[in-house]
Amino acid sequence: SQKIEQNSEALNIQEGKTATLTCNYTNYSPAYLQWYRQDPGRGPVFLLLIRENEKEKRKERLKVTFDTTLKQSLFHITASQPADSATYLCAQSYSSASKIIFGSGTRLSIRP
Amino acid sequence: NAGVTQTPKFQVLKTGQSMTLQCAQDMNHEYMSWYRQDPGMGLRLIHYSVGAGITDQGEVPNGYNVSRSTTEDFPLRLLSAAPSQTSVYFCASRIGDPTDTQYFGPGTRLTVL
């Protein structure tokens, strides 16, 4: 079955640096990869979606890449701030199905 | 718009009891889904619905039932609760297409003793 994995459970970086989170999928490429932010005690909030035929997507300080050769998506936060501290989830979906399947998440901590 | 609402926020059950987790959205979204979230395991899809009268199973459907009689409501039923169903449950909705933004409710924290 298709799996999506976020290898790092936690990531700690210094304020102002770029945070890079990794999401890997198995077998065939999903049509879409999505990234969400989740704060403690709250539901996830959608951030960005990237399609299989797109290499890169940007939104303000956020950037997502999709590499079908490496079967990987990278999520970058530039000029990171303590307010960016949260758990970030990646998710995959396919054009022929409606399901969205999530990875286990990476807890990001930005220290001042 | 209230968005996606879930009730109750917290619930404690004894093994074998039944209950229904409520989910409602006022955005006229066709697609709704239920996830459970456990430590270290991320969100796992339980059931989903692509419209009123249509439901399908996700990754972990056993022990849960759903129905979709209206566009607005998508209740999740536990017929005989087990300790393994202790989790945080999230309901989500979107217009329809997988590229549409998916909105999540605030979650229900369920403990089964």
> b/e string for A6-39 if b means 16 or more Cβ within 10 A?
beeeeeebeeeeebebbbbbeeebbbbbbbbbbe
- pLDDT(A97) > 70: no
Interface contact flag, A31 B31, Cβ < 8 Å: no
Q: What is the DSSP letter of A18?
A: P
Higher pLDDT, A27 or B103: B103
Q: Does the pLDDT value for residue B43 go beyond 90?
A: yes
pLDDT for the residue numbered B8: 97
Share of chain B above pLDDT 70, in %: 100
**What's the pLDDT at B99?**
82
- Checking if the pLDDT of A4 tops 90, the result is no
* Cα(A110)–Cα(A99) distance, integer angstroms: 32
In B, which residues are within 8 Å of A95 by CB distance?
Answer: 98
Taking contacts as CB-CB distances below 8 angstroms, the residues of chain A near B90 are: 43-44
Measured distance CA(B17)–CA(A59) in Å, rounded? 46
Residue A40's closest chain B neighbor by CA?
B106
Position A29 pLDDT exceeds 90: no
For A52-87, how does the pLDDT look when each residue is reduced to its tens digit (9 = 90+)? 899 899 999 999 999 989 999 999 999 999 999 999
Per-residue confidence at A1, pLDDT binned at 50, 70, 90? low
Judge whether residue A96 has pLDDT over 60: no
Question: Token pair of A14, please?
Answer: 């210094």
Contacts of B44 in chain A (CB under 8 A): 102
Instruction: Work out the mean pLDDT of chain B and round it to a whole number.
Output: 94
Instruction: Say which residue, B10 or A30, is predicted with more confidence.
Output: B10
Task: Mark yes or no for CB contact A100/B33 under 8 Å.
Answer: yes
pLDDT(B26) > 60: yes
Q: Residue A31 and residue A33: Cα distance in Å, rounded?
A: 7
Closest chain A CA to residue B39: A104
